[in-house]
Amino acid sequence: MSSVSDYQRSKVYAAEDAAFDKRKPPAIPELHEVRAYMDMVIASQHWTKHKGWQRVRLEDGRGRRSACYRSHKRSIAMPTWARSEWIVIHEMAHCLTHRTTGAASSHGTHFTWHYLMLVLELLGQEAHDALAEQFIGKGVKWHNLG
């Protein structure tokens, strides 16, 4: 995706690198555990309030260089190295943004707001504040959808 259409992508990734430790081993290494965590996201108050889809497919992402949300399949692919809570939340935030705005692939202001709110609910205030602080420091914008 070009930087013109996804102007915040590199800033979001830089903020994540600073807020979360990617060197730690995956916290949810098994695919069935990723599915259970996705179900927690789907059951969250934020997801429910914004009428997120109740079914999101999970694909084994082995062989992929990165995790991703595939809007045409309404699925996320999770390589083994990426199976941590915050990466699942990141990909699920793409899914929720797709549902609420029709734009799934960008890291725009609606995505970053959904991401922050899901982090707050599922990972807690400290993780939210760390990510929000890095968003501010890296110039990442978000739009409060209420």
Helix-helix angle 125-138:9-19, to 10 degrees: 130
| Confidence at residue 81, expressed as pLDDT on a 0 to 100 scale | 87
| Confidence at residue 146, expressed as pLDDT on a 0 to 100 scale | 65
By the 8 A CB rule, do 34 and 28 touch? yes
CA pair distance 4, 146, nearest whole angstrom:
27
| Confidence at residue 63, expressed as pLDDT on a 0 to 100 scale | 81
| Confidence at residue 143, expressed as pLDDT on a 0 to 100 scale | 84
Which of helix, strand or coil describes residue 60? strand
| Residue 117: count of CB within 10 angstroms of its CB | 23
| Confidence at residue 3, expressed as pLDDT on a 0 to 100 scale | 40
pLDDT, mean of each 10-residue run, the chain (146 residues): 68 94 78 96 97 94 88 93 93 95 86 97 96 97 81
| Residue 1: count of CB within 10 angstroms of its CB | 9
By the 8 A CB rule, do 77 and 125 touch? no
Q: What is the dihedral of CA 111, 122, 129, 83, to 10 degrees?
A: -70
CB neighbour list of residue 39: distance below 8 Å, 6 or more residues apart = none
